[in-house]
Chain A
Amino acid sequence: MIESLLNKAKRVCQQAEVFWVTSQNTDASFEANRLKSVETRQGRYLSLRIVKDGRIGYSSTNKIDNADEILQMALDVAKFGAVAEFELPSLQSYPNVEVYDDNVNQVSIEQMVDLGNTMIAAVRDHNAEVICEAGVTKNAISVTLLNSNGGEASYNKTSFSLGVEGLLTRGTDMLFVGEHESSCRPLSDVSKITNTTIEQLERAKETASPIQGQLPVVFTPRGVAIALISPLVIAYNGKNIVQGSSPLVGKLGKSMYTEELSIYDDATINYRPGCRICDDEGIPSRRTPLIEHGNVANFLYDLQTAGMAKAQSTGSANRGGGLPSPSPSTLVVAEGTTSIEDVIADMKQGLVIEILMGAGQGNTIGGEFGGNVLLGYKVENGTIVGRVKNTMVSGNIYSTLKEGVIIGNTSEWVGGALQTPSVYCPSLPVTTQS
């Protein structure tokens, strides 16, 4: 089907590309401490991108019986599509990136159910009043890409995810805790997830008295993922660079952040679910520095945005149901030199933030982050004394991630797509409702 569609398209277009994905997914979900349902999904997705008279046409479907209809839909669009600023790649050589493990396919539903029950039992063993939801998921996808310039790529990828979320309710007071993890290989050890969850419960045992003002704040790796990553990354998207809407336009090579901060986008790490041999346009995967020692190092491009910016694609094309668009693959924040535990021990008064609710809702392209501290703790004289409530924190990465920020010296994977240490910000505005 995909070869014949490409051949049909080639006859009437200057360039054509077929992208074909099939997927299989099994999900065991737990509600109110017990198994609720088992779901299996089969899916497929075919998309056709063409360049006709210099303009881009696009269509997609999961109905694969009618190549003519798919081509016609793309041709309709190409009449007034954007002007193509790229040549599709010819046959490339790809790096070796391991993202498939057949053992994932071999995990039985019964084993998945056991993992879920083990996570819930561990958390409830610590506190029987916690009500848990949990999920255990396995996925397998197969990707094939063919284009009219001889470009060709195909790979299989598996992934396996575990997650637990606990809710502790007292009166109308609610405490949410939890952790999740994913890998391209089966996960059988739930202890990292349950230990993190139990540590959250312990740290949040007491409710601390409210604090406000300009305060030092530590974002844990989970806190970094929620609060800081989206404003940091949106500015590197080639689309925002081409449009001039990124605050980093014209700042390539310039120092914008503390010297201690380095961030890489790396699509080549073995067994990480965001990694792969090539991007969704067949450009080989690579490791791209975004920030090196505080300097803006590179922006993320796919073929079209690279063409518009007179730059090279960074192998960052991703498809989310439409035309490819640049986005990061797997982000790695380089470790600093200071122990965050020591920083907390030296803190007179401040916050440690795990979950900042609503952080990505504001003006992220302007660098802003802010929200309600859904899970965070108060530090008093170097010790975590309890959970804070009714507290808001806000900031802007361009004024915050400067001198005085400390990057921790031990990093953690957060949900399989980000590796980061904790980050200390010396002064952020904190407001509280009395």
Chain B
Amino acid sequence: MRELIADALKGHNADYVEIRLEDSKSSRIQYRGRDLEDIGQSTGSGGNVRALVNGGWGFISFNDPDELRVKVELAVKQAKLVGNEKSVIARSDPIVDIVPLDLRKDPLAVSLEDKKSLLDEYIDVIWSTPNIQTSTVGYGDSFKKVVFANSEGSYIEQSRVDVTARITAMARDGSDVQQSGISIGSKGDFGAVEGIHQQVKDCAERAVQMLSAPKVKGGQYIVVLDPILAGVFTHEAFGHLSESDFVYENDRMRDIMVLGRKFGKPLLNIVDGGAVPGYRGSYKYDDEGIPSTKTYLIKEGVLVGRLHSRETAAKMSERPTGNARAINYSHQPIVRMSNTYIEPGATTFEEMISGIKEGVYAKNWYGGMTSMEMFTFSAGEAYMIRNGKIAELLRPVVLSGNVFTTLENIDAIGNDLDMNQGGGCGKGGQSPLPVSNGSPHIKIGDCLVGGS
């Protein structure tokens, strides 16, 4: 195959060509209540060719990797239709590498039956909780092998195994339905989804408690975020702004995202890096064959870096960061995050809440969205903070605000960094991409909370 790929890449009238071939195998189990809603196994294979001619991209994807040369010609032809300027992509030395699979406990070596029994245990835990109406329990794993080669001589084989579990418990009182959930994920370790019985129990009990919890009164509050929600905030509110494809061809965005701009107080440090090992967003090379890095985005409150593909890096005269990722063979790589987090500070949780007379402690997440300037995210669990203590449980809250002012309003950062691996990121129709995000507890001096 390697020779066929090398042959197909030779002698085209293009500035750059790459080929990506993929082979995958996955399984999933989904329960709704006690009923097995979906269980299945899939296999898949496919590939793509991407070509650059005069600054324009042509891309074709397919299931059969036969006649690769013809496919390359077609992609080059499409690129010619698009391009009308000089092609600019960051320089890269050719890389030849076969990356070994990073595995702790291989989910593919666990039988479907054993996976199902594990979920059955969690379902028993949920249903032994009084007043539970129903639950959803889902598990998925996938193995993917990707072969990448380009016209500059790179040839890289990489494989990864991804595991996720999502559990939601629902309680109902008449037409009032409340839910509470857990999301867990791992790169290459089935162990991550084992032994979470206590978490599941807490989750089910919380769903029931929420039925009798009050709604927060909407308005501005001092808000403390737990590591999971603060991680989602970091990803949504700031991470997407750091993706250079939003910036590189928009002069006004370039002004906003100028390196050296102050974004927060000196205690704020934000990092993204596929080279940070051991998380779902970890990889050795991105989908353009560029080595992953660890990139400081904010250092001591100041913007110092951003995430790049080869094209955005060259057009902004910066170095590529290895953040061009594609969800699968039928998509082009675009600038994406990997593992994004706020670095820990020195404050303990108790110190953080001790001075708050009235505030909201928001934990866990349903989801988040950003429009770059504005963000909104939903906490799965929330409490009032009164006189320096955690007080009553609230109905789930929605937090929203302006990214720039909210980052400036972070005035305490905890010492308890924790990474959330249960999420998946969506952008440009490519979702869910495995990423992780994290943070210590953080305190935001002023945040808008939606409510009654």
Contact = CB atoms under 8 A, between A and B. Distances in A.
B46, B330, B371, B402 — most chain A CB neighbours (10 Å) = B371
A431 B218 contact: yes
A407 B102 CA distance: 56
Nearest to B250: A131
B220 A73 contact: no
B199 interface: no
A247 B177 contact: yes
Contact of A31 (B249, B366, B446): B249
A109 interface: yes
B196 interface: no
Contact of B40 (A44, A322, A362): A322
Interface in B163-200: 170, 172, 174-179
Contacts, number: 245
Contact of A43 (B36, B38, B330, B451): B330
Contacts of A341: none
A213 to B, nearest CB: 10
Nearest to A40: B60
Given A358-B398, A362-B398, A394-B218, A76 B41 contact: yes
A17 to B, nearest CB: 13
B371 A357 contact: yes
B316 interface: no
Nearest to B400: A372
Interface residues of B, number: 77
A394 B58 contact: no
Nearest to B23: A63
A145 interface: no
B401 A390 contact: yes
A171 B396 CA distance: 33
A367 B176 CA distance: 9
B113 A43 contact: no
B58 A245 contact: no
B42 A38 contact: no
A392 B373 contact: no
Interface string A423-434: 000000101111
B330 A433 contact: no
B30, B32, B113 — most chain A CB neighbours (10 Å) = B32
B401 A81 contact: no
B256 interface: yes
A32 B250 contact: yes
B175 A62 contact: no
Contact of B252 (A169, A243, A370, A372): A169
A37 B398 contact: no
A374 B83 CA distance: 34
Contacts of B378: 358, 361-362
A361 B179 CA distance: 12
B377 A358 contact: yes
Interface in B400-451: 400-402, 404, 446, 448-451
Interface of A is mostly: mixed
A37 B59 contact: yes
Interface string A351-386: 000000110111101110011101000000000000
Given A43-B63, A245-B170, A431-B450, A361 B178 contact: no
Contacts of A79: 113
Interface string B356-398: 0000000000111101111111100000000000000000101
A58 interface: yes
B39 interface: yes
A108 B372 CA distance: 35
Given A38-B78, A169-B256, A372 B376 contact: yes
A28 B354 CA distance: 55
A172 interface: yes
Given A358-B398, A429-B452, A39 B332 contact: yes
A431 B450 CA distance: 7
B41, B56, B377 — most chain A CB neighbours (10 Å) = B41
Interface string B258-292: 00000000000000000000000000000000000
Given A37-B82, A169-B250, A61 B44 contact: yes
Contacts of A31: 245, 249
24 contacts: A36-B57, A37-B56, A38-B57, A38-B78, A39-B60, A39-B61, A42-B61, A43-B46, A58-B40, A60-B42, A63-B44, A69-B43, A80-B113, A113-B81, A243-B33, A245-B177, A322-B40, A323-B40, A325-B38, A361-B367, A361-B376, A361-B398, A366-B179, A431-B219
Chain A to chain B: the 10 pairs with minimum beta-carbon distance, closest first: A358-B376, A32-B249, A37-B57, A247-B175, A169-B252, A361-B367, A58-B40, A431-B218, A82-B36, A366-B177
Interface of A: 31-32, 35-44, 56, 58-63, 69, 73-74, 76-77, 79-82, 109-110, 113, 131, 167, 169-174, 176, 239, 242-248, 308, 321-323, 325, 357-358, 360-363, 365-367, 370-372, 374, 389-390, 392-394, 398, 429, 431-434
Interface of B: 28, 30, 32-33, 35-46, 56-63, 74, 78-79, 81-82, 112-113, 116, 133-134, 170, 172, 174-179, 218-220, 245, 249-250, 252-253, 256, 330, 332, 366-369, 371-378, 396, 398, 400-402, 404, 446, 448-452
